[in-house]
Amino acid sequence: MEAFHLIFLLLCSVFVFAHGFSRNLPILSFDEGYSHLFGDNNLIVLKDGKSVHLSLDERTGSGFVSQDLYLHGFFSASIKLPADYTAGVVVAFYMSNGDTYNKTHDEIDFEFLGNIRGKEWRIQTNIYGNGSTNVGREERYGLWFDPSDDFHQYSILWTTTSIIFYVDDVPIREIKRTESMGGDFPSKPMTSYATIWDASQWATNGGKYKVNYKYAPYVAEFSNFVLHGCTVDPIELNSVNCEAKTGSDSIPTGISASQRVKMESFRKKYMQYSYCYDKVRYNKRTAECVFNAKEAERLKRFDPVTFGGGRGHHHHYGKRHVAI
């Protein structure tokens, strides 16, 4: 009965955060939720214990990883990106289980793509499920602010039926699980990561502009960590049942009407690329894509998007962990 009560409280709090963005969820110190992943002294935990600097220099990038595996939940961090010339630099905040499921891994990504001086950072979101790296579901966007000026909150809500990406309190993308997606929808326990790395070969104008280390170190700042989900035993891979029948009111049901208005407005103004309209990469749209002629025409105004080879876990893990 006690375990049942804990599950109920967890699901209710996720529901409140998703629909009202309650500030009552616990903010973790770095050591409470995360551990050093790679980069030696390029990862610095500040004296308050709640803020972290990740840096990229000629020697290496850096990153950290959550101490626990999670099956569904709400995952969030406040991030301030490097300023000035940042071409080729990628900062990532994402979920993955590539270390556990090498050939059938799942992934949910926020990637921040640097740019030349005078050009804005862009955000890329993506998901993989069951090793479906041959079908990238990338979208790219501009922002209504300069993410290097101040901290902004970036969040992922992951449930059994949907994935929602948030920037501050604004949902920017919703991916609903459909029958046609099959195993392409992330459904296995994942770990939370944050990294900074050199992606000169693809990140800025398809690799035209590369990292220039005379501007190094590139420093990304992180704080306000939220890891709010069901933890999973890394050996047994068994979890408290996050879908206990506690009543439909306790389970997230999607985006509210007011949030949807904000999301649609954001996407009309700031989306620059969607895999759904990429005829170069895909001869046929994936089943979940809904064609919008006006949207397709608007996206033609932006430069063609080029992606590097190995866009899946091999790319994430290998490149981010190799010293430059």
Question: What would the DSSP string read from start to end of 93-151?
Answer: EEEE-TTT-SSS--EEEEEEE--STTS--EEEEEEE-TT-TTS---EEE--SS-TTTS-
Q: Find out whether 97 and 158 touch, Cβ atoms under 8 Å.
A: no
Find the length of the chain.
Answer: 324
Q: 191-198 and 43-45 as β-strands: parallel, antiparallel, unpaired? A: unpaired
Positive or negative: CA dihedral 277, 172, 174, 64? positive
Nearest Cα neighbor of 116 from 143, 89, 87 is 87
Residue 264 makes CB contacts below 8 A (sequence gap 6+) with none
Choice among 32, 58, 111, 236 that is catalytic: 111
Q: Find out whether 34 and 64 touch, Cβ atoms under 8 Å.
A: yes
Angle, vertex CA 164, rays to CA 160 and CA 167, nearest 5: 155
Decide if 107 is catalytic.
yes
* β partners of residue 63: 38, 195
Please count the other Cβ atoms lying within 10 Å of the Cβ belonging to residue 108: 23
Decide if 111 is catalytic.
yes
The position carrying tokens 């994935």 is 163
Nearest Cα neighbor of 177 from 137, 145, 139 is 137
Coil, helix or strand for 44? strand
Count of alpha carbons within 13 Å of 116, Cβ hemisphere only?
7
Choice among 2, 32, 107, 295 that is catalytic: 107
Q: Any idea which residues carry the catalytic annotation?
A: 107, 111
